[in-house]
Amino acid sequence: MADQPTIGQFEQLVLAAILQCRDEAYGVTIHESVEALSASKSVALGAVYATLDRLEDKGLVSSWLSDPTPERGGRSKRYFRLEKRGERALHESALAARRICEVMENAWGAGVWTGKWKPVRQR
Amino acid sequence: MGGRSMDRKVETCPPKVIERVVELLMPPASREHVLGDLSERYMSPRHYLVDALRTLPFVLVSRVRRTCNPTLDTAVVVMLCFWAVIWGNGEHVWLAAGIPTFVAISVLILRGAYRANHLEFLPPPPSDYEWAFLGVLLSQAILENTFPVLALSPDALLGGFPVGFIMIFFMRWETCRPSCSRDTCETLRGGQR
């Protein structure tokens, strides 16, 4: 566990997107999934590629090229899948996020998840 | 999620000329899948071009990060100091030494990024240094005609090239490190022979 790499927020989104896309996880679908997960923020396709490369270097995901497909100009797709380390890293991130959620609910009540919530300065 | 992109039928493909330009600019290791993804997202020539130009810097920086030798910063300092010492105590000495150093290192970095099937545990090929040499020569020729005060002297060029590049070559050779597991590296190394 000690050598488990730390991951940033965008890396968490990309890992979650790969998980969501399952067997169809390649550049375009991962990008669409990341944009959906990050709500209103626009995400550059290149930023997704750069993050996928970084995650692969960290050993959290692996990739392979498919056979060329005619609808893409005869180009291959680069598919991604989560490795065990990636699943563990995503799981730990989700646990940390859940703990943060619990703290917020304890402090601000269940109304924190409604659209009517507004920041309240802590005294 | 995947279904949304699968439903999007690609009626047209990007113009061959634009696609060819993007293909040339894209690092070979990422070319196949990135061009495929860009084709799949194609809507109009303008959209394709903007999409490609927005994507290219990220892909290039990522390739540079993956292929750049860890001691290149040390090599920059060594080369800079070496050229500065050879050049002597003239005016603008650090700037004059910095220009060829910047050019040489930039060429080496870009050569690494644009090499197909780069294996990080293998030292860069000697042809990289020929390109860096040409880059420095070209920059010096331009400087000679525009800002002669910043051009290196013939002695500095003749002395600096062989010794400077030999130093960097051995520094990069010595610091090649595997970024994959031992077994994978051994397999790939076998495949390279």
Domain closes at, from B26, B47, B67: B67
Most A CBs within 10 A among B5, B68, B184, hence the mutation to make, goes to B5
Residue A122 lies in a domain: no
CB B85 within 8 A of CB B153: no
A1 compared with A61, residue with greater pLDDT: A61
Q: How far apart are CA A38 and CA B11, in angstroms?
A: 29
State the average pLDDT for chain A: 89
Q: Percentage of chain A surpassing pLDDT 90?
A: 67
Q: Write out chain A residues lying below 8 Å of B10, CB-based.
A: 71-72
Please check whether residues B111 and B174 belong to one and the same domain: yes
Residue A116 lies in a domain: no
CB contact under 8 A, B33 and A27: yes
Is the model's pLDDT at A110 over the cut of 50? yes
> Which residues form the domain of B108?
72-192
Q: Which ipTM score applies to this complex?
A: 0.86
Sorted by sequence, the CB contacts under 8 Å of residue A81 that are 6+ apart come out as A18, A25, A61, A62, A63
Question: Which pTM does this prediction carry?
Answer: 0.77
Question: Strand, helix or coil at B83?
Answer: helix
Domain closes at, from B22, B42, B67: B67
Instruction: Look at residue B17 in the predicted model and tell me its pLDDT.
Output: 92
CB A74 within 8 A of CB B55: no
Q: How far apart are CA B83 and CA B105, in angstroms?
A: 13
Residue B111 lies in a domain: yes
> Which residues form the domain of A25?
9-108
Residue B104: C-alpha distances to residues A122, B99, B139 (Å): 55, 9, 10
Please check whether residues B41 and B92 belong to one and the same domain: no
Note whether A82 contacts B: Cβ–Cβ < 8 A: no
Instruction: Look at residue B96 in the predicted model and tell me its pLDDT.
Output: 79
What does B100-128 look like in DSSP terms, one character per residue?
Answer: HHHHHHHHHHHHHHT-TT--TTSPPPTHH
Please check whether residues B82 and B168 belong to one and the same domain: yes
Residue B1 lies in a domain: no
Sorted by sequence, the CB contacts under 8 Å of residue B72 that are 6+ apart come out as B105, B108, B109, B172
Q: Distance (Å) from the C-alpha of residue A77 to the closest C-alpha of chain B?
A: 5
Vertex A117: Cα angle to A114 and A123 (nearest 5): 140
Residue B32 lies in a domain: yes
Q: How many CB pairs under 8 A join A and B?
A: 92
Residue B130 lies in a domain: yes
Q: How far apart are CA B123 and CA B142, in angstroms?
A: 31
Note whether B36 contacts A: Cβ–Cβ < 8 A: yes
CB atoms within 10 A of CB B170: 11
User: What is the identity of the amino acid at B19?
Assistant: E
Q: Which of A17, A31, A71 comes nearest B10 by C-beta?
A: A71
Residue A119 lies in a domain: no
Q: At which residue do the structure tokens 């990739």 appear?
A: A63
pLDDT tens figures, A21-75: 999 999 999 999 999 998 878 899 999 999 999 999 999 999 999 988 877 888 9
Note whether B4 contacts A: Cβ–Cβ < 8 A: yes
- Which parts of chain B register pLDDT below 70? 1-11, 69-90, 117-124, 161, 171-193
Residue B109 lies in a domain: yes
Q: Which of B30, B36, B61 comes nearest A77 by C-beta?
A: B36
B67 compared with A101, residue with greater pLDDT: A101
Residue B27 lies in a domain: yes
Backbone angles phi, psi at A7, to 5 degrees: -125, 145
Question: Strand, helix or coil at A7?
Answer: coil
Tell me, what CATH number does A74's domain have? 1.10.10.10
Please check whether residues B80 and B58 belong to one and the same domain: no
Please check whether residues B51 and B133 belong to one and the same domain: no
Q: How far apart are CA B133 and CA B162, in angstroms?
A: 10
Q: Name the nearest CA neighbour of B120 among B74, B166, B175, B76.
A: B175
Residue B2 lies in a domain: no
Please check whether residues B57 and B76 belong to one and the same domain: no
Instruction: Look at residue B118 in the predicted model and tell me its pLDDT.
Output: 54
Read off the pLDDT band of A115 (50, 70, 90). confident
CB contact under 8 A, B37 and A24: no
Please check whether residues B51 and B99 belong to one and the same domain: no
Q: Distance (Å) from the C-alpha of residue A114 to the closest C-alpha of chain B?
A: 26
Please check whether residues B79 and B33 belong to one and the same domain: no
Instruction: Look at residue B71 in the predicted model and tell me its pLDDT.
Output: 65
CB contact under 8 A, B5 and A32: yes
Q: Which of A33, A49, A72 comes nearest B36 by C-beta?
A: A72
Please check whether residues B184 and B95 belong to one and the same domain: yes
Specify the DSSP class assigned to residue A4.
Answer: P
Vertex B99: Cα angle to B90 and B26 (nearest 5): 175
Instruction: Look at residue B3 in the predicted model and tell me its pLDDT.
Output: 47
Sign of CA pseudo-dihedral A61, A65, A70, A72? positive
Instruction: Look at residue B122 in the predicted model and tell me its pLDDT.
Output: 59
Domain count, chain B: 2
Residues of chain A numbered 54-73 and touching chain B (CB < 8 Å): 54, 57, 65, 68-69, 71-73
Residue A4 lies in a domain: no
Residue A118 lies in a domain: no
Q: At which residue do the structure tokens 């100091």 appear?
A: B81
Residue A78 lies in a domain: yes
Domain closes at, from B46, B67, B88: B67
pLDDT tens figures, B102-142: 888 888 888 888 887 655 555 667 788 788 888 888 998 99
Q: Percentage of chain A surpassing pLDDT 70?
A: 95
Domain count, chain A: 1
Sorted by sequence, the CB contacts under 8 Å of residue B99 that are 6+ apart come out as B139, B143, B150
Sorted by sequence, the CB contacts under 8 Å of residue B86 that are 6+ apart come out as B155, B156, B159, B160
Most B CBs within 10 A among A11, A23, A29, hence the mutation to make, goes to A29
pLDDT tens figures, B55-66: 999 999 999 888
